[in-house]
Amino acid sequence: MVSTETPWWLGAPTKLIKKTTLVPAAPNHLPVHTLTFAIPKDDSAFSGRAKPHSEVAIELGDVVKMVIPGYKPKSYSMSAIRDGEFDITFKVYPNGRASGFLDRLNVGDEMGTFGMTAGRHRNPGSFVGCIAFGVGITECLPVAQAELEKGDAEKVVLLWASRTMADTFWHDKIEDLKKKYPDRFQMAHILSREERQGCLKGRINPELLDQVFQPEDRSQARFLSVGTKEMMRMTDKMLEEIDYPMPQHALLPKSQKHR
């Protein structure tokens, strides 16, 4: 049980119960792992801004804060949440303080975690375009799946920008969505360092976005990009260049009190 004396920013003790490698370490790409944690039995006694893990809304971009010792709480998207457990999926960066600590965790280890709202609301439309930069797919794909499940989006198009196909993962999940929603879900890959049949080549620019995202009714188009803050700002500007001004066309704009 979380003590009422525990500062909310220290989180609740959270046990690692499984570790899965999605992309093994190699000379040309960094490793990606999924960590599965048990949801703390009582994480509701905090005061302040923390929220229970079970109330984290993946479809709204809420996050779980992983409390890194000697550093700071670091935000990660939950890549999945199930009864009694949740996943985070992350890339291990050289000298990364947060990703390095997570990489060194062993099954049975505990660390502090807490949920936190991203302060967003859903702005639905009949066309949804998601742009994932690298490991940003860990937020984009769950949101795209949620939009398909809600049913009011007639078309969901996901563009994933990676260096090579060897840097990608979740192929089974993507194929399952294609089979389940053959007329509503479309997946596109763009690779910056590899020529591959069926994939776009290069980097994202306004012309490419206009090519990939072609809604029947432009007023109903909604977009989400996930990457570094700089990448997301850049993408918003590119979307504005092709007449999708923000936040009008944002799928998950910031709520008024969080702006």
Cite the annotated binding site for FAD by residue number. Answer: 71, 91, 99, 138
For residue 215, give both structure tokens: 């809604």
Q: Which amino acid is at 219?
A: S
Which DSSP category does 26 fall into? B
The beta strand positions in 30-106, using DSSP E, are 32-38, 63-67, 73-82, 85-91
C-alpha closest to that of 91 among 141, 26, 16 = 26
SS3 203: coil
Beta bridge partners of 32: 23, 91
Which helix (H) or strand (E) element contains residue 225? strand 221-226
Look-up: residue for tokens 């939009």? 147
SS3 246: coil
List, as residue ranges, the binding site: 71, 91, 99, 138
Contact in structure between 20 and 34 (CB atoms under 8 Å): yes
Which DSSP category does 183 fall into? T
Angle, CA 134 vertex, CA 95 and CA 238 arms, to 5°: 120
